[in-house]
Amino acid sequence: MECVFGLVGNDFAIVVADTSAVHSILVHKSNEDKIMFLDSHKLIAASGEPGDRVQFTEYIQKNVALYQFRNGIPLTTSAAANFTRGELATALRKNPYSVNILLAGYDKETGPSLYYIDYLATLHKLEKGAFGYGSYFSLSMMDRHYHSGMSVEEAIDLVDKCINEIRSRLVVAPPNFIIKIVDKDGAREYAWRQSVADTPAPSA
């Protein structure tokens, strides 16, 4: 029931992920951050097997950092996406990772970009993409309302439309979402959309 979706705007890219960590019928926590900073100008939103998700994305993150130290220059978003896809492909027929990834980045020369990488190592460069059961709803909303060159306000408005659609129509809809944005100033957290906050433990 994990929902991950993203879109490319005017000179930024936005990715949204639900924040529930679920095991069978139990919700471990509802503030799990599934969007990792790959480097200063890249975001990796991942969904899938929780162990694989963290292990694989951290592995990619450290290798991207190593490249930067070795070569004195960061990887482009396209290069990082292709590297990620390559790692998934290599592992696919031995010990595959069950991780679906939306990689969003901003390059000075080429602007914002979004890459769809699924667990079978499919790679697509897209303007909008989504994973999970929520994708049925978010893709439809984005198909209807998306246009290229959206401003941040318009994009967030569309993101909220998608989140509301997921909340109202998906049977086990995740309650909380996190939104992160990447633009020329770097990658950062944009906002949370919470309908259920973790209740703090009562003090003694």
Partner 1 sequence: MARYDRAITVFSPDGHLFQVEYALEAVRKGNAAVGVRGTDNVVLGVEKKSAAKLQDSRSVRKIVNLDNHIALACAGLKADARVLINRARVECQSHRLTVEDPCTVEYITRYIAGLQQKYTQSGGVRPFGLSTLIVGFDPYTGSPSLYQTDPSGTFSAWKANATGRNSNSIREFLEKNFKETSGQETVKLAIRALLEVSC
Taking the least distance from each CB to partner 1, the nearer of 66 and 92 is: 66
Ranges within 85-104 binding partner 1 (CB under 8 A):
none
Q: How far apart are CA 140 and CA 116, in angstroms?
A: 17
Helix, strand, coil percent content, the chain, rounded in steps of 5: 35, 35, 30
Question: CB of 200: closest distance to partner 1 in angstroms?
Answer: 25
Q: Taking Cα atoms as reference points, which of 170, 169, 167, 142 lies closest to residue 157?
A: 142
Q: How far apart are CA 76 and CA 84, in angstroms?
A: 12
Ranges within 111-170 binding partner 1 (CB under 8 A):
none
Taking the least distance from each CB to partner 1, the nearer of 67 and 146 is: 67
Of the candidate spans 61-69, 79-87, 116-124, 158-166, the one that interacts with partner 1 by CB under 8 A turns out to be: 61-69
Taking the least distance from each CB to partner 1, the nearer of 71 and 168 is: 71
Taking CB under 8 A as the rule, which mask of x and - marks residues 63-82 in contact with partner 1?
x-xx--xx-x----------
Taking the least distance from each CB to partner 1, the nearer of 86 and 192 is: 86
Q: How far apart are CA 71 and CA 137, in angstroms?
A: 42
Ranges within 1-60 binding partner 1 (CB under 8 A):
58-59
Residue 94 is which amino acid? K
Question: CB of 36: closest distance to partner 1 in angstroms?
Answer: 12
Asked if 18 contacts 177 with a C-beta cutoff of 8 angstroms, the reply is yes
Asked if 56 contacts 99 with a C-beta cutoff of 8 angstroms, the reply is yes
Question: CB of 182: closest distance to partner 1 in angstroms?
Answer: 20
In the complex, the residues that contact partner 1 under the rule CB under 8 A are 58-59, 62-63, 65-66, 69-70, 72
